[in-house]
Amino acid sequence: MTEIKTMEFKDDILFLIDQRKLPVSYEIFQCKTYEEVDFAIKDMVVRGAPAIGTAAAYGVVLAAKQFLNNNKDEFLKRLDIALDVLDKSRPTAVNLMWATNRMRSVIDGNKGLPKESIYNKIKIEADKIYNEDIETNKRIGRNGNTIIPDKATILTHCNAGALATAGFGTALGVIRQAFYDGKDILVYADETRPRLQGGRLTAWELAEEGIPTRLIADNVAATLIRDRKIDVILVGADRIAINGDTANKIGTFMLSVVAKEYDVPFYIVAPTSTIDFDIESGDEIKIEEREDKEVTHIEGIRIAPKGVEIYNPAFDVTPHENITGIIIEKGIVRPPFNKNILKFKEERINIK
């Protein structure tokens, strides 16, 4: 069993695996200010919905440390500014706002305390978010393992592993658990253009674990599905609407269409913090568009002609009717999603 520590907070520094460098080199990116955390999230030093939420929580801790020498009013004002900045670092992943809302609640509930006590409360909450995420992912892994048959061939897209979370992973957490339990599995990992997270990150994680893996170009997946070579598809999520519509890495929707056509089970794997109880459907999800260079260049080398127009959405929305189930830490949510997802709101598993 290989433990991948996506991040570590120590001595008022947030240490992040620099995911821009993998798999060529393993480098650590250090954040000593909330501005550096904001940069790390925007530039995808750290990525994956649960991971950026946890990183943002520690960004608030760093902000509190930065402004501890200010007077109380200025300290609180600066914290509020830092929260707003971190909130806007990436728009699609709801875990980011879920985490900053938790940090904001701690600050608002302890404004009467001395600055040092507020800082300590903030640090405790960030550590809770970190530890809860790892435990949540392990529960997700155990729940998801129940739908993985022995000798299963699994397809996954992008990276929903330890690198996308505080640890263990969501979709890859299910795969890890199946492997740890001795199931004879094979994983096909889509390369995931344009940033190649499947090729650079998922393949790296699975290779580190010794899990049998084959890396494929994105446009191979449909052929494998058609030829009955895939038993189940597992993907992560950045935001899930009440009706089950799910935003995930661009290309996920396309896989779901082919899976539905050929009756291959298609599962979303995510914590309940990825459910946005404030939106009814995927039509309300803001899709981030990223810079042209992600498409026109690979590792700094231009692969497209100068002047060509680029459309580069980072995510797409898979409609609920294409989804077999949503694997969360509480179990497996099945259709009708708009009824069954709301059960978790009633249990106060909420993003607020």
pLDDT digits (tens, 9 = 90+) for 24-72: 999 999 999 999 999 999 999 999 999 999 999 999 999 999 999 999 9
Structure letter (DSSP) for residue 45: S
Among candidate residues 149, 229, 155, 198, the one with its CA nearest the CA of residue 48:
198
CA distance 271 to 351: 11
Which residues, at least 6 apart from 207, have a Cβ–Cβ distance to it below 8 Å? Answer: 213
Task: Give the type of residue at 214.
Answer: R
Residue reference for tokens 């339990």? 181
pLDDT tens across the length of the chain (352 residues): 678 999 999 999 999 999 999 999 999 999 999 999 999 999 999 999 999 999 999 999 999 999 999 999 999 999 999 999 999 999 998 999 999 999 999 999 999 999 999 999 999 999 999 999 999 999 999 999 999 999 999 999 999 999 999 999 999 999 999 999 999 999 999 999 999 999 999 999 999 999 999 999 999 999 999 999 999 999 999 999 999 999 999 999 999 999 999 999 999 999 999 999 999 999 999 999 999 999 999 989 999 999 999 999 999 999 999 999 999 999 999 999 999 999 988 553 433 3
Whole-structure pTM value: 0.95
CA distance 241 to 254: 19
CA distance 334 to 160: 20
Residue 38: active-site member:
no
Residue ranges and CATH numbers for the domains of the chain are 7-137 (1.20.120.420), 140-346 (3.40.50.10470)
Report angle CA 130, 104, 269 to the nearest 5 degrees.
40
pLDDT confidence of residue 313? 98
Q: Which two tokens stand for residue 66?
A: 């930065």
pLDDT confidence of residue 1? 67
Among candidate residues 215, 153, 161, 225, the one with its CA nearest the CA of residue 190:
215
pLDDT confidence of residue 344? 86
Sign, CA torsion 185/316/291/130: negative
pLDDT confidence of residue 346? 57
Q: Are 276 and 212 in contact (CB under 8 A)?
A: no
pLDDT confidence of residue 350? 37
CA distance 315 to 40: 19
Among candidate residues 286, 227, 275, 339, the one with its CA nearest the CA of residue 95:
275
Among candidate residues 67, 1, 71, 58, the one with its CA nearest the CA of residue 29:
58
Spacing of C-alpha 346 from chain mean position = 24
> Which entry of 133, 218, 238, 245 is annotated as an active-site residue?
238
Among candidate residues 100, 70, 62, the one with its CA nearest the CA of residue 84:
100
Rg of the chain over Cα atoms, rounded to whole angstroms, equals: 20
pLDDT confidence of residue 3? 83
Longest dimension (CA), the chain: 66
